[in-house]
Amino acid sequence: MPTAPTSAATRPQDTTAWRIDNLTGTDVLSDLDPWVEIYEEVYAHALHLPDHNDPPFRERLAFSAARPGFRLTSCHADGEPAAFVYGYTLPTTTGWWDGFTPAPGVEDDLAHEWPGRTFGVCEALIRTPYRRSGLAERMAPFLLSGRDEERAAGLVAETNTHALEIFLRNGWRQVGDLAPHAGWRRHHCLVLPLNV
């Protein structure tokens, strides 16, 4: 069942009806298949990389959906799934920052978590027909609206310059790099203040 805010919108340049919903962990855990299918479609060219199969996405999504503070923002175009982004509140014992190499001038406590400090954005996926339509910018306010955390944190693979550009253009700050899991490519670490 969607949680507020919910929106239906039409892009001025076409007649596509867009619908954006926020889903809870219970919603997502009731049927992981639609999200796994989108993931496997978007990353079909790279599913052989450890970033995409170790651990498998279904396992990562189920783990995340069971975490406190989980939210998945979905976007449908004319009733068809077009994109989704999700995250959860990082616990104080998180491994999110393991192996973090800060950028010059980054504050010493950036990788330290306390209760309610960070909403970790885990994945943002847009199906090919809907790319370069501004969906990332349109979904982000829904994902982050009403959050109680002080900041959001995200990771972008070092080769994904397009996603990095979108984050930076929308107020995120690159604060360093890390490899999220053993064998994965390096990722850029980004943060965005919330509730300021």
Average per-residue pLDDT for the chain: 89
192 vs 51, residue with greater confidence: 192
The predicted structure's pLDDT at residue 83: 95
The predicted structure's pLDDT at residue 4: 44
Backbone angles phi, psi at 50, to 5 degrees: -55, -30
- Report the first-to-last Cα separation within the chain, whole angstroms: 30
Residue 10 has pLDDT above 60, yes or no: no
Mean pLDDT of 159-185: 89
> What percent of the chain lies above the pLDDT cut of 70?
92
Mean pLDDT of 169-177: 95
Residue 8 has pLDDT above 80, yes or no: no
The predicted structure's pLDDT at residue 137: 87
14 vs 143, residue with greater confidence: 143
Q: What domains, with CATH codes, occur in the chain?
A: 2-193 (3.40.630.30)
Identity of residue 186: R
The predicted structure's pLDDT at residue 149: 97
The predicted structure's pLDDT at residue 179: 84
The per-residue pLDDT for range 116-148, each reduced to its tens digit, is 999 999 999 999 989 888 888 889 999 999 999
What are the residues whose beta carbons fall under 8 Å from the beta carbon of 157, sequence distance 6 or more? Answer: 51, 163, 185, 186, 187, 188
For the chain, the three-class secondary structure string (H helix, E strand, C coil) is CEEEEEEEEECCCCCCEEEEEEECHHHHHCCCHHHHHHHHHHCCCCCCCHHHHCCEHHHHHHHHHCCCCCEEEEEEECCEEEEEEEEEECCCCCCCCCCCEECCCCCCCCCCCCCCCEEEEEEEEECHHHCCCCHHHHHHHHHHCCCCCCEEEEEEECCCHHHHHHHHHCCCEEEEEECCCCCCCCEEEEEEECCC
The per-residue pLDDT for range 38-72, each reduced to its tens digit, is 999 998 988 888 777 778 999 999 999 999 999 99
The predicted structure's pLDDT at residue 12: 43
> What percent of the chain lies above the pLDDT cut of 90?
70
